[in-house]
Every structure is written in structure tokens, then in C-alpha cells.
Amino acid sequence: MELCTTVTAIRELVTAWKKAGLRIAVVPTMGYLHEGHLSLMRIARQNADRVVTTIFVNPTQFGPTEDLEKYPRDLKRDQQLCEEVGVDAIFHPVPAEMYAPDFSTWVTEGSLSQTLCGAFRPIHFRGVCTVCLKLFNITLADVAVFGRKDAQQALVIERMVRDLNIPIQIIQAPLVREADGLALSSRNKYLAAEERTRALALSRGLRAAQAKFDAGERNAQALKDAVLAELTPAADSIDYVDVMARATLRPIETVDQPALLAIAAYIGKTRLIDNLFLD
């Protein structure tokens, strides 16, 4: 497995693969890898001849008061895990390699990115779209794998790819959870033991909503109430609990189309997200 820290180095590698007619998959991550990330890499492995994992804590997707500085990092461990799942190359640039001092070109998706997390993190999806397009261009990937843990992100990237005719296939991968239901996240490291227990309210709330949905409930407020009954006593604050049409990420009152029940809430100082696809 190669570790490339410059655009020139990864480009040399992927260009050679392209010349040999090989299909390349990219899995963009911010590192501090866990089983959720590894599941994406395994899917990438099944869909391409070569797999590139990018590990880059992208500064442009963090707001001024967010956790950019303290975001967990452990490259040694990440390298080992990538090796174990059969990744061919890691691209791990420093911010200056990605952003020139006079960097001035941005990708802004103007619809799906405006609700849910976009309403609370105004520059987040501009940073995500911009860095993903750069990573697609740098790695010359034919396919990219994104997790449904970040359901809005996956939909925004799909929209960007469609709208800008980017020659890449996007695969959405299932959300991976701990045995007790907690959605795997690098940010779970921030949780003290007592907070981790409270964090289970997110997935417990979603399970309660799923049970109601399976029993025939189609009223969005009733499904949100099932989540809130669990979440309100456990969370320090709640950004949103919303039922959205997956096609538009706009709120719906009745679940009569593919929908997304999405949560963002603070447990202590840690902002956690989780979601459920309603079909």
C-alpha cells in the first residue's frame, strides 16, 4: 500500500493504473477510521480494481466555532486498518497541498444542502462539495463510495455529480452501528461514558419511529414524536428531528414517498447525527 501526501505523487500512481485500464474507486474520509469507514472500503474493493482512501480533515467544511483543531487523528492506526482491508493507496495531504493561499473557486449546491445540517452549518456543504470534486479530480476515480451515516452529504454529492456531469459513479453504503445501536462515528471518541449512554437515545428514538412506521404510521409528526420522546430527556440540545422527502430534502407531513427521518443533537459538547430511511 502506498502513502501519498502530494497531488503529484497520487496522480502518478493513478495515471499508471488508468493507462493499464484499471478501474479506480475512491473513499473520501477524515480519518480516525472505524468499521463504518472500512465497510465503504470493502464495497469499493468489490467495485473497482484499485482502491484509494483519502484521509483529510478538510478545514473548509468546519465553521469557525467547530471542532477542526481537536478532530481526532491517528494516521498510524488508519494505515494499518487500510492495509488490512486491501486499500491500494492512501492520499493524505496537508491543507496547504489542497488549498493555495489565494484559493478562490468553490462548488455550491443550492437546494438539497440548504435544510437539515445545512441550516445549522452554513458553509459545511460548500466545503464538502469543493473538496470532494477536488478529490475526484485528483484521484481520477471511476467510482466513489459514501456512507448513509451522512445521508444528506451523499445526496448532495450525487446532485453535484449529476448537475456538473462529473464522470464518476456514486455508491451509497449502509449505515454501520455498534451492537447497542450507536451509529459509528469518529466523534464518538469525544463522548464520556455517561454521555455515550445518553447518546443511545438517538438510535433508540429511530427504532421507536421505525416500529411505528412498520405498524402503518405515516404521519410525520407522529414519527418525529416517537424520536423526541427518547431524545428530549437525553440530549443537551437538539438541532433538528425532521422527516424529509429524499428527492428534495424538504419537509413532508405524510410519508407517501421515499423519506428520510434525520436527527442532529448535542450530547454534552458533541454534535451527533443519525438517520433512518423510510421506504
| 233 vs 202: CA distance, rounded Å | 11
> Taking CB positions, which residue lies at the least distance from ligand AMP?
147
Q: CA distances (Å), 141 to each of 15, 88, 114, 144, in order? A: 10, 13, 27, 7
Q: Report the DSSP beta bridge partners of residue 237.
A: 266
**Least distance (Å) between residue 149 CB and ligand AMP:** 3
Residue 29 lies near ligand AMP (rule: CB under 6 A)? yes
- The correct pick among 156, 175, 201, 235 for binding ligand AMP (CB under 6 A) is 175
Determine the interface stretch with ligand AMP among 102-110, 183-191, 248-256, 268-276 (rule: CB under 6 A): 183-191
| Three-state SS at 68 | coil
Angstrom distance (rounded) from CA 69 to CA 141: 29
Interaction of residue 40 with ligand AMP, rule CB under 6 A: yes
**Contact flag: residue 37 with ligand AMP (CB under 6 A):** yes
Return the number of the residue (183 or 228) whose C-beta is nearest ligand AMP: 183
Q: Taking CB under 6 A as the rule, does residue 262 contact ligand AMP?
A: no
Q: Which three cell numbers mark 224?
A: 418525529
In the complex, minimum distance from the CB of residue 55 to ligand AMP, in angstroms, rounded to a whole number: 8
Of 45, 126, 149, 224, the one binding ligand AMP (CB under 6 A) is 149
From candidates 25, 36, 51, 234, binder to ligand AMP by CB under 6 A: 36
Residue 168 lies near ligand AMP (rule: CB under 6 A): no
- Using rule CB under 6 A, residue 93 touches ligand AMP: no
Active site residue 92: no
The CA angle 119-175-255, to the nearest 5 degrees, is: 60
Residue 127 or 213 with smaller CB distance to ligand AMP = 127
**Grid-cell match 404521519, residue found:** 219
C-alpha distance from residue 109 to each of 45, 221, 237 (Å)? 29, 28, 28
Stretch that binds ligand AMP, among 1-9, 32-40, 159-167, 220-228 (CB under 6 A): 32-40
**Residue 122 neighbours by CB distance under 10 Å:** 11
Q: For ligand AMP, which stretch binds (CB under 6 A), given 8-16, 100-108, 171-179, 242-250? A: 171-179
- Strand extents, DSSP E, the chain: 2-4, 24-29, 50-55, 89-91, 143-147, 169-173, 237-245, 259-267, 270-278
Q: What are phi and psi of 93, to 5 degrees?
A: -85, 160
Q: Rule CB under 6 A: is residue 127 a binding residue for ligand AMP?
A: no
Contacts to ligand AMP by CB under 6 A: 29-30, 36-37, 39-40, 146-147, 149-150, 173, 175-176, 183-186
Catalytic residues: 37
